[in-house]
Amino acid sequence: MNNPKNAQILNATVKDTFSGSRLDKFLAENFAEHSRSRIKSLIVDGYVTTAGAKVTDPSRRVKPGEKFELSIPALKPAIPVGQKIDLNIVYEDQDLIIIDKPAGLVVHPAPGNPDRTLVNALIAHCGDSLSGIGGEARPGIVHRLDKDTSGLMVAAKNDIAHRGLAQQFSDHSLDRAYKAVVWGVPKTKAGKIEGNIGRNPRNRKKMAVVKRGGKHALTHYQVEKRIGSTNEKWAGLVECRLSTGRTHQIRVHLTSIGHPIIGDPIYGSKDAKKLGNNVSEAFQKAVNNLNRQALHAFLIGFIHPISGQKISFESPLPSDILTLL
């Protein structure tokens, strides 16, 4: 059996509704986070078994009650190299560096983004003076922002600083605040959004507020500005503060209360069409020119892991978000 070390093991049992389906189609339906073409390649390469025997024919027809095991081999990340990429450095000392990340910059190499990332830029700028706790593929990286979210990030230059920062992220003692422009305006000027976040049961590539499972998530928000005409407000500038740090937390939570972030290509497109019917021509033009979600990490504050002093930094809203206001 082809079962490499550190492989992810997935199991599926054929139900009556899949009787006679192709093996690759059945597995793709059950494991939506993996494409059918990817699963087909894994079958051919011997990563699927049933009753202890390999199955290498993607077109094999499955039968009710059959149990299949799919091994997803761990990808060996390439070791990133330094690349000259302009950085907006807000603060830097011998232990850490604060970057104001632009939208469009991926934090670390991953499939589909092997280079030209923040990590490549940090290696070029800092050389060997980055923490190694994150591994060779993510030197210095303590936390991350989505590719199309702009704003402040901290990276560690040594392992002691990394551990101190990571602890503050873990116990949620840092100050982290974001500003987002959302469709519609929340009814209450300030409030909290609380709901477990997990994989969307209908689309495993997305996150969602789920009734069962998931991880506890809590977001506090405050409406800073109502955007629109005298008679109608079609958007709002909202400040969000995280009490937890889940994947896509702010984007998912705001969508869950009916106010998706403007420009978000993944969450809330249906609501966006409904809420954006009566906007002004100027506002619609600003939305059309926005090439990402209107989300910016404008504040980060923490205890310096070496000096013990409280430090805090703020970043102004980028011009592409300002045009919405």
Q: If you compute the radius of gyration of the chain from its CA atoms, what whole number of angstroms results?
A: 23
Q: Round to whole Å and give the CA distance between 70 and 39.
A: 9
- The region that residue 258 occupies, defined by phi over 0 for left and psi between -120 and 50 for alpha, beta otherwise, is left
Which are the contacts of 283, defined by CB distance < 8 A and separation ≥ 6? 227, 228, 234, 235, 324
Closest by CA position to 69, among listed 17, 20, 23, 33:
23
Q: Round to whole Å and give the CA distance between 234 and 246.
A: 28
Catalytic one among 24, 95, 100, 146? 146
Mapped onto helix, strand or coil, the DSSP state of residue 207 is: strand
- Is residue 16 among the annotated active site residues? no
Q: Round to whole Å and give the CA distance between 314 and 240.
A: 14
Q: Which residues are catalytic?
A: 146
